[in-house]
Chains A and B, each alone.
Chain A
Amino acid sequence: MEPQFLPAAIAAHAPALLVMIPLILSAPAAMITSGRAAWVMALLGVGAALVLAAEIFLATRAEGAVLSYAMGGWEPPFGIEFRIDALNAALLLLLGSTGFLALLFAGPSVADEISRQKQSLFYSAFLICFAGLAGVASTGDAFNLFVFLEISSIATYAIIAMGWSNDRQALTASFNYLVMGTIGATFFVIGAGFIYMSTGTLNMADMGRAIAEMNGNRAVEVGFAFILVGIGLKAALFPLHQWLPNAYAYAPNFVTTFLATTATKIAFYVIIRFRYDVFSIQTGFVTNAMLWVITPLAIAGMLVASTQALFQNNVRRLFAYSSVAQVGYMMLGLGMATSLGLSAGMLHLTNHAMMKGALFMALGAFALSYGIRRIADFKGLGQVMPMTSAAFTIGALSLVGVPFTVGFISKFYLIQAALDAGWWWAVAAILISSVIAVFYVYRILVAIWVTPPNEARKASPKRVPLAIAVPLAILAGANLVFGVWAEPIVDMARAAADAAIAAGVNP
């Protein structure tokens, strides 16, 4: 690849380094005993990944640019290929930047929530999880994708379970996620196996070529169904989302922030990759599956999960249900099977990472100061912690889709795409789901700003440390800035959608 701003020797291996640096750093992070040193090491690893992701992002900006990296010099389709175009470059940049911001926030938050001896192991597991997600987003080999998926998942189960010192339900939540996640990953292997049996290749681009030459092969179709269900589980596609609310509600605050902004997004990317690149756009079976299976489930998720969110008293679980609903929005964009729909889905993916990042980070700041998570406990927080409350409010308004926030931009493009496809009923569903969102956000905001604080709350709280205030301000600011100046992310989403579709048409 053409080096952008890094030295050519590093730029040439950027795709591999992006995964390897965090993975290798996880070993020394596990060996040192100081939690703070492990945190610095994690910052180094994720920071390096962010720089490399920026390099890759710039290198794939030209239209139709595809970065192919042959692992170990074994040429694809026989060797493992890392294949990056505008679609996964955007994902990698998102993963790097939200991962880095979340990790800044981790410093004080993890120090508060996790026992001293476990902190370095915690950061080590986090680095493995990060490397796994980066691997899923960059690999072009179906089986390699499964291995990275499991690397990230197994590390995720561990870091979710670390929330047990605050609330033992983290353990059962993590165990349930482990059972469901493993079933999902195994379904993916079955699906990849079916496609491998029919095409004789594991390279995704090569699979695409082979499938395009076949005329309707039942084994390949079954393979697609297995992959859709398996990855749908990881992406928390309604009704496969049962693991998500408890996992998000009881994991350490940092883990929830990181997972909510990245993990389900990467799984969503895998679905896009298989839907468009392995199965070309015209495949009737796939289009029908999207229209008759994914779209109804997406809409059901938007409505049902939003309604479930209304009845939650635990704020983190409330936003977890809202995340399931937001996955519905993204899937709806994917289900439209148009370029506009896909780019609206990608746009919402990026924007949702910004808003949920800000929201969960603010919740983490509240938890750090007061150790609270129920709506009833949020009374009068606006008076004692005005800045954090303001950032939280920006995130919440963005979630509803108030103008001048990114939430409005993504809903605007989603509705535009739905109207373009003639799906007025989808527009109705988007609007109804947004109205429900107004209600659940309203409950919290009233508690924060209108209800007076109780007496105990008036005692001055712990100051919010800089390591939380800065990333929170950046994320809340991004919600506003990109809500007004939307071109950069809209362009990025459009380029990503075009790359996904182009790769499928001429693999």
Chain B
Amino acid sequence: MIEIIADRFTYAVILVLMMVGLYAVIATGNLVKRMVGLSIFQTSVFLLYIATAKVTGGGPAIFDYSDLAARTIPEDAIYANPLPHVLILTAIVVGVATLAMGLALVVRIREVYGTIEDDELSEIDHDDELKKGV
């Protein structure tokens, strides 16, 4: 059991982060904390991609231009897979946009309702509906 975990230590960490994030989204009633949980959840997925890009013994895929031009790089040069890094850069931007959108909504909710606790919000919404007879 310990060996299995030790072998896949990175994945174990990612899994724990993922569950922490998801649990925070579900368990907390505070909208800001919920956004924090969502961010942790997304970050764990970023790590998942980055972890798969690692090649044992490989560094970043950056070469000297003169080497490239002279074609002196050995054919069997080992370097990390750059594609997941690029993908995750995009995903980080998406994550930031989502976080900004979510927090903007929280600010507006605070202004309009005067609270950011989920249970109080549903109570107010429920009263609103009763008042309107919906």
User: In chain A, residues 137-173, which have Cβ atoms closer than 8 Å to a Cβ of chain B?
Assistant: 143, 146-147, 150, 154, 157-158, 161, 164, 167-169, 171-172
In the complex the two chains form, is B125's CB within 8 Å of A169's CB? Answer: yes
A197 at interface, CB cutoff 8 A: yes
Give the chain B neighbours of A186 by CB distance below 8 A.
Answer: 41-42, 45
In the complex the two chains form, is B113's CB within 8 Å of A168's CB? Answer: yes
CA distance A196 to B42 in the complex (A): 18
B106 at interface, CB cutoff 8 A: yes
Q: With A157-B101, A161-B105, A171-B112 as given contacts, are A193 and B48 in contact (CB-CB < 8 Å)?
A: yes
Q: How far is the CB of A80 from chain B (nearest CB, A)?
A: 11
B80 at interface, CB cutoff 8 A: no
Give the chain B neighbours of A164 by CB distance below 8 A.
Answer: 108, 112
Task: Determine which of A154, A169, A374 lies in contact with B98 in the assembled complex, contact meaning CB atoms within 8 Å.
Answer: A154
In the complex the two chains form, is A313's CB within 8 Å of B134's CB? Answer: yes
In the complex the two chains form, is A178's CB within 8 Å of B134's CB? Answer: no
In the complex the two chains form, is A376's CB within 8 Å of B133's CB? Answer: yes
User: In chain B, residues 87-134, which have Cβ atoms closer than 8 Å to a Cβ of chain A?
Assistant: 87, 90-91, 94, 97-98, 101-102, 105-106, 108-109, 112-113, 121-122, 125, 128, 132-134
Give the chain B neighbours of A185 by CB distance below 8 A.
Answer: 94
CA distance A164 to B48 in the complex (A): 38
Give residues in B with beta carbon < 8 Å to A: 22, 25, 31, 34, 38, 41-42, 45, 48-49, 52, 83-84, 87, 90-91, 94, 97-98, 101-102, 105-106, 108-109, 112-113, 121-122, 125, 128, 132-134
Name the prevailing secondary structure of the B interface residues. helix
Given contacts A183-B22, A189-B45, 19 further A-B contacts (CB under 8 A): A157-B105, A161-B108, A164-B112, A167-B128, A168-B113, A168-B128, A169-B125, A171-B109, A172-B109, A174-B105, A178-B98, A178-B101, A178-B102, A178-B105, A179-B102, A183-B38, A193-B48, A197-B52, A202-B87
In the complex, the chain A residue whose C-beta lies closest to that of B22 is A183
A190 at interface, CB cutoff 8 A: yes
Give residues in A with beta carbon < 8 Å to B: 143, 146-147, 150, 154, 157-158, 161, 164, 167-169, 171-172, 174-175, 178-179, 182-183, 185-186, 189-190, 193, 196-197, 202, 313-314, 373-374, 376
In the complex, the chain B residue whose C-beta lies closest to that of A142 is B87
In the complex the two chains form, is B94's CB within 8 Å of A150's CB? Answer: yes
CA distance A219 to B125 in the complex (A): 43
In the complex the two chains form, is B98's CB within 8 Å of A190's CB? Answer: no
Q: How far is the CB of B47 from chain A (nearest CB, A)?
A: 11
Q: How far is the CB of B130 from chain A (nearest CB, A)?
A: 11
In the complex the two chains form, is B42's CB within 8 Å of A182's CB? Answer: yes
Q: How far is the CB of B53 from chain A (nearest CB, A)?
A: 10
Give the chain A neighbours of B91 by CB distance below 8 A.
Answer: 146, 189
In the complex the two chains form, is B105's CB within 8 Å of A171's CB? Answer: yes
CA distance A171 to B84 in the complex (A): 35
Q: How far is the CB of B102 from chain A (nearest CB, A)?
A: 5
Q: How far is the CB of A301 from chain B (nearest CB, A)?
A: 22
Q: How far is the CB of A391 from chain B (nearest CB, A)?
A: 24
Give the chain B neighbours of A171 by CB distance below 8 A.
Answer: 105, 108-109, 112-113
In the complex the two chains form, is A175's CB within 8 Å of B31's CB? Answer: yes
In the complex the two chains form, is B125's CB within 8 Å of A172's CB? Answer: yes
A-B contact pairs, 27 of them (CB 8 A): A146-B91, A146-B94, A147-B94, A150-B97, A150-B98, A154-B97, A154-B101, A168-B113, A171-B108, A172-B121, A175-B105, A178-B101, A178-B105, A179-B34, A179-B102, A182-B102, A183-B25, A183-B38, A186-B45, A189-B45, A190-B45, A193-B45, A193-B49, A202-B87, A313-B133, A374-B133, A376-B133
